[in-house]
């Protein structure tokens, strides 16, 4: 249930955000969707694309960070676009027309071989660019691939929506030139909506800064946490609907323990539900929640120990302070003395390292441990 993109019925809140995203994409806007990790961007995107697909829009969804090189990304992107062409033969012709023939190699289409598609979605033909060797080849190819969505909209006579998830990874491919090429292409595509989603807010915000290609390219949506009380009600209701009666306050306790992070809320709720079901009971109590928490902490003990071992002593001290002080006032003389943190610059260096390693994240009102289980472990098992 958790760790995957959630089905609509398992989706809490986000009504306003979903509505806005669908409306913007339907208007062929180029939307930037930004939040820290695991706030629910991908889930929101999938839901928006599904809603649009039901209305006849062609949707394409690519996770930029899953490719090991720029060319691999271009191949994957072209393939995903070709898969939106339902008839295999037409997809091949279409690709051949659109891409300089010396560069593209189009492999067998699994649909044609009438094999069941591996991942539910028809995979389309495999596309590879083995002859793209020089930088010039690659940028010509990129220009052609980035133009494909508009061609798709044209030939199929349907609106197209493209989601590029984990978009911050684009910066790692080829420096600024990818951004320029992509921006130039999407700007011209009046029938294609885009959503660029990224989970490293600082990288994404920098991409939108003045003098960068995507400056003012389109609306920016910053996803917040789901309001705690709504999420708590949602969790309680999910227990009830599965025939299990939650003790009053259970949903709220789960949301609080999970730091109100959607992923952690779902994980803790699911594990608690599993615990209760395993005992064949119909009531889920706060006690069950705490038992579940202890079990999960024990299961992850080795991993948390390894994380802890990797940290320098100042980083350990600062991590403990983040946990015990709820992430605020870490530079104050009082907190530094109480937790023996050393001078402000030592604290800042340690914090920066913890953020870079994704152990701690910066939130509007201070710092927080990314993994709420690690937070509980630090609070209970370190000194
Ligand atoms: N609105 C929601 N209601 C209930 N659960 C949600 C909701 N949004 C997200 N989740 C839960 O949080 C998990 C993480 O969500 P998702 O993968 O969409 O986040 P993300 O922001 O894309 O994360 P990442 O930055 O790591 O890619 C999901 O697997 C799901 O369990
Ligand atoms: Mg995601």
Task: Give the number of the atom of ligand 1 that is nearest the alpha carbon of residue 10.
Answer: 4
Task: Give the number of the atom of ligand 1 that is nearest the alpha carbon of residue 263.
Answer: 12
- Which residues belong to CATH 1.10.10.10 in the chain? 312-383
Question: pLDDT tens-digit profile of 146-157?
Answer: 999 999 999 899
Question: pLDDT tens-digit profile of 193-220?
Answer: 999 999 877 778 888 888 888 888 899 9
Distance 33 CA to ligand 2 centre (A): 11
- Which residues belong to CATH 3.40.50.300 in the chain? 8-222
User: From the DSSP assignment, how many helices (H) and strands (E) are in the chain?
Assistant: 16, 11
pTM of the model: 0.85
Q: If pLDDT is split at 50, 70 and 90, which confidence band does 101 have?
A: low
Please say if the pLDDT value at position 112 is more than 70: no
Q: Does residue 198 line the site of ligand 1, with CB under 6 A?
A: no
Give the pLDDT of residue 1: 41
Question: pLDDT tens-digit profile of 72-87?
Answer: 999 999 999 988 887 7
**Fold entry, domain 312-383:** Arc Repressor Mutant, subunit A (1.10.10)
Q: Does residue 43 line the site of ligand 1, with CB under 6 A?
A: yes
The whole-number average pLDDT for the span 131-142 is 87
- Which residues belong to CATH 1.10.8.60 in the chain? 227-310
**Fold entry, domain 8-222:** Rossmann fold (3.40.50)
Distance 16 CA to ligand 1 centre (A): 16
CATH class of segment(s) 227-310: mainly alpha
What does the angle CA 325 – CA 261 – CA 225 come to, to the nearest 5 degrees? Answer: 95
| Contact predicate 269/235, CB 8 Å | yes
Distance 206 CA to ligand 2 centre (A): 19
Distance 123 CA to ligand 2 centre (A): 21
The whole-number average pLDDT for the span 324-352 is 95
Closest-approaching ligand to the CA atom of 7: 1
Task: Give the number of the atom of ligand 1 that is nearest the alpha carbon of residue 11.
Answer: 3
């Amino acid at each position: 249930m958790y760790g995957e993109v959630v089905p609509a019925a398992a989706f809490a809140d986000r009504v306003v955000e979903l509505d806005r995203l669908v409306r913007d994409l339907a208007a062929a806007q180029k939307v930037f969707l930004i939040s820290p990790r695991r706030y629910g961007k991908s889930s929101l995107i999938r839901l928006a694309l599904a809603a649009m697909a039901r209305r006849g829009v062609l949707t394409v969804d690519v996770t930029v960070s899953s490719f090991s090189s720029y060319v691999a990304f271009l191949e994957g992107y072209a393939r995903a676009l070709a898969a939106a062409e339902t008839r295999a033969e037409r997809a091949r012709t279409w690709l051949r027309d659109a891409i300089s023939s010396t560069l593209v190699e189009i492999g067998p289409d699994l649909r044609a071989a009438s094999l069941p598609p591996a991942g539910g979605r028809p995979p389309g033909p495999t596309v590879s660019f083995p002859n793209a060797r020089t930088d010039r080849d690659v940028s010509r190819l990129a220009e052609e691939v980035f133009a494909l969505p508009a061609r798709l909209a044209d030939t199929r006579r349907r609106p197209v929506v493209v989601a590029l998830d984990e978009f911050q990874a684009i910066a790692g491919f080829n420096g600024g030139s990818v951004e320029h090429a992509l921006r130039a292409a999407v700007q011209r595509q009046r029938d294609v909506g885009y959503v660029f989603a990224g989970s490293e807010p600082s990288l994404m915000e920098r991409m939108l800064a003045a003098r960068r290609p995507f400056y003012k390219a389109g609306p920016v949506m910053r996803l917040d946490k789901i309001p705690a009380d709504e999420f708590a009600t949602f969790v309680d209701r999910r227990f009830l609907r599965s025939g299990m009666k939650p003790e009053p306050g259970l949903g709220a306790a789960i949301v609080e323990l999970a730091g109100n992070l959607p992923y952690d809320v779902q994980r803790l709720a699911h594990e608690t539900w599993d615990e209760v079901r395993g005992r064949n009971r119909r009531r889920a109590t706060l006690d069950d929640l705490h038992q579940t928490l202890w079990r999960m902490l024990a299961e992850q003990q080795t991993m948390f120990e390894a994380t802890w071992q990797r940290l320098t002593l100042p980083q350990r001290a600062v991590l403990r302070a983040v946990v015990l002080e709820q992430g605020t006032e870490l530079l104050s003389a009082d907190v530094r003395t109480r937790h023996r943190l050393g001078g402000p610059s030592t604290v800042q260096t340690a914090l920066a390292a913890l953020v870079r390693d994704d152990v701690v994240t910066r939130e509007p009102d201070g710092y927080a441990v990314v993994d709420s289980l690690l937070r509980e472990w630090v609070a209970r098992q370190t000194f």
